[in-house]
Structure 1
Amino acid sequence: MSITRKIVLSLAANRVVRSIASKYGLKLGAGRFIAGVTLEEAIKRTKELNEQNLWVTLDHLGESITSKQEASEATRIAIDTYAAISQAGLIKTNVSVKLTQLGLDIDSSFCLENMRKITAKANETNNFLRIDMEDTPRIDVTMEIFQSLLSEFGSAVIGIVIQSYLYRSKADVEKLGKQGVNLRIVKGAYKEPKEVAFPAKKDVDDQFIALVKQHLSNGAYTAIATHDENMIHPLLAWIKENNIADHLYEFQMLYGIRSDLARKLVAEGYKVRVYTPFGKEWYPYFTRRLAERPANALFILKNLFKK
């Protein structure tokens, strides 16, 4: 992990910094990365993105909750999100969730039941649900819950995320590829020890490209989540050389980051999905975006000194 990233994550954990950011952050520039606090705001922004021929994944922010009441409320919001998507006719929009928001750290069986309710709603509305991957101590139980839901609902309804900075990811992709799982491949944004994750960016990038190729070679749907043109262009060349069908992949980018590149790819005929977060508990997500890219922090600092 870079020194800059360590500093940002440490500073972000400071109670005083968190208090100030939570109170003023959206006004000072964090709103660039968050589609709104309410579901209504998120749906409005989603319509605008869909009209630009951008696909969307909505994510109601929140993680590491500590009560079943909070987890049940998060479950209700996820279900309501599918209902709002369906009512608005947003056929280019799906949903992603984090299991810690749905009770994973309280009781994995309780979390599975919450996930079953959400997945059933996705199925009922002819939609799709993505499970976001979290830090290493939670990966195995996340995989167990995913496999239970996959066997019940199938890969057309539920998919998962794989992080390229982890040593284990190659083996995970090999297994999931044989099952035809719809994967979102990302670099990873959590603070992980060198015992489980590549410390060097080049190794993370190299494995990212290798995992995308591996999954596509298995004929499985692959969401390529990166803003890095130095990775996108070589992958596009490989996709063309290997006659990979267009319906097997899409590019994914985070809301508020490299919108210019997203529009460019759409103009060239590629499918691009914008990962679009919303909700009151936006701070942990926001700090990871700052840690990943110092330019994001500079954007916020500039706003601090505006009138």
Structure 2
Amino acid sequence: MWIKNFFIGLSQNQMLNKAAKRYGFKLGAQSVVAGTNVEEMVESVKQLNAQGISATIDNLGEFVFEKDEAIEAKKHILSVIESINQNNIDAHISLKPTQLGLDIDFGFCLQNLREIVSKAHEYNIFINFDMEDYDHLQPSFDLIDELAQTYDNIGTVIQAYFFRAINDIKQYKHFRLRIVKGAYKESPEVAYQDKKEIDENFLRLIEYHLLNGKFTSIATHDHHIINHVKKFVEENQIPREKFEFQMLYGFRKDMQLDLAKEGYNFCTYVPFGTDWYGYFMRRLAERPQNLNLFFKQVFNKKTNTMIGIGLGAFLLGRLSKRNK
């Protein structure tokens, strides 16, 4: 648990976030972020599409507390929607309500989201609402409820560590849903703290939505979970067009390709932009094994290798001591 708290704490450090914007790609962020601009992102998605993999695109953004920042984020996302349409790439949008002004004003955020969803609807592009921490959970569902009265091209995320997740998935089973374990530090009053309990609930939610839901995106790098799902869908004769596997851009590339080659729908979560820091720290908090994958794929120069080995040894050493 300490290592998760460590990375979540880092993700919320605005000073480090600003530094990462300046130096990120010198630190190797290009291995986990598909470019700094729309053009670079489109090329990355085209490469994925050529391998039979679709994409969900996240125009990264953190710590939005001013209206002009939210409006700028909206403009960027609208430009991504236009680029998806113009380039005819197999992709949809993932966004965070806080990036569009949820921490500023609910109505202001709703209007920004309405513009985005409306434009995407014109082009038959799906919009996925990423879920954040518990304080933003119900307001995000409220936004979805408002928009769902008019639009049918929206879906969201169910986080398995929340006690309420089973009720949420039943309420929103008619939506396309991405199911994840969860990547924020949450109180034991609202969320499971034990990995085993989270994993069990994760599988429970996946199985429920596969049997009862519209479309299921299974977001995991865990091959044990993936193998379980493969067996479950075969035993229950669930057609492959009703679900997909999802992983993060830059992680477990061989497994992503293998799943696509096996004929499973596969979608890569593709973040882009300079505001990558908070996103990446939460990925490490969500699954510390990602740290090892990151070092293998990023620290390939001599100097960076020494830094990576040192930091990795420190963190893995701490983790080993905690597990004894």
TM-score, normalised by the number of residues in structure 2 = 0.88
Q: Using the alignment, how far apart are the partners of 1:208 and 1:126 within structure 2?
A: 30
SS in 2 for 1:174: helix
Deviation at 1:29, TM superposition (A): 1.9
Q: Report the count of equivalent residues.
A: 301
Q: 1:188 aligns with which of 182, 197, 213?
A: 182
Task: After TM superposition, list the pairs within 5 Å mapping 1:21-170 onto structure 2.
Answer: 21-90=20-89, 92-154=90-152, 157-170=153-166
Please state if 1:237 is matched with 2:235.
no
On the 8 A contact 1:53/1:266 being kept in 2, the answer is yes
* Root-mean-square deviation over aligned CA pairs: 1.8
Please state if 1:258 is matched with 2:252.
yes
For residues 55-74 of structure 1, what are the alpha-carbon distances to aligned partners after superposition, in whole Å with 9 as ceiling and x for unaligned?
00010001330111111111
Q: Using the alignment, how far apart are the partners of 2:137 and 2:14 within structure 1?
A: 28
Q: Which amino acid aligns with 1:139?
A: L
On the 8 A contact 2:176/2:213 being kept in 1, the answer is no
Structure 1 residues 136, 16: closer, same or farther in 2, change over 3 A? Answer: closer
For residues 39-70 of structure 1, what are the alpha-carbon distances to aligned partners after superposition, in whole Å with 9 as ceiling and x for unaligned?
11111111111111110001000133011111
For structure 2, the 5+ residue unaligned runs are 307-324
Q: Using the alignment, how far apart are the partners of 1:153 and 1:20 within structure 2?
A: 39
Structure 1 residues 80, 21: closer, same or farther in 2, change over 3 A? Answer: closer
Q: Using the alignment, how far apart are the partners of 1:55 and 1:15 within structure 2?
A: 32
Structure 1 residues 224, 295: closer, same or farther in 2, change over 3 A? Answer: closer
Q: Using the alignment, how far apart are the partners of 1:143 and 1:241 within structure 2?
A: 33
Q: Which amino acid aligns with 1:84?
A: S
For residues 218-274 of structure 1, what are the alpha-carbon distances to aligned partners after superposition, in whole Å with 9 as ceiling and x for unaligned?
142111111111111111111111111221111111101111111111111101000
Deviation at 1:23, TM superposition (A): 2.9
Kindly, what percent of the aligned residue pairs are identical? 42
Q: Which amino acid aligns with 2:270?
A: T
Tell me which moved more, 61-70 or 168-177.
Answer: 61-70
Match of 1:275 in 2: 269
Task: After TM superposition, list the pairs within 5 Å mapping 1:205-224 onto structure 2.
Answer: 205-224=199-218
SS in 2 for 1:122: helix
Q: Using the alignment, how far apart are the partners of 2:198 and 2:289 within structure 1?
A: 20
Q: Which amino acid aligns with 2:83?
A: A
Q: Which amino acid aligns with 1:75?
A: K
Q: Using the alignment, how far apart are the partners of 1:166 and 1:197 within structure 2?
A: 4
For structure 1, the 5+ residue unaligned runs are none
Deviation at 1:296, TM superposition (A): 3.9
Q: Which amino acid aligns with 2:161?
A: Y
Deviation at 1:13, TM superposition (A): 4.8
Q: Which amino acid aligns with 2:30?
A: G
Q: Using the alignment, how far apart are the partners of 2:100 and 2:133 within structure 1?
A: 15
Structure 1 residues 58, 16: closer, same or farther in 2, change over 3 A? Answer: closer
On the 8 A contact 2:58/2:270 being kept in 1, the answer is yes
On the 8 A contact 1:63/1:98 being kept in 2, the answer is no
SS in 2 for 1:152: coil
TM-score, normalised by the number of residues in structure 1 = 0.93
Q: Using the alignment, how far apart are the partners of 2:11 and 2:159 within structure 1?
A: 23
Q: Using the alignment, how far apart are the partners of 2:182 and 2:2 within structure 1?
A: 17
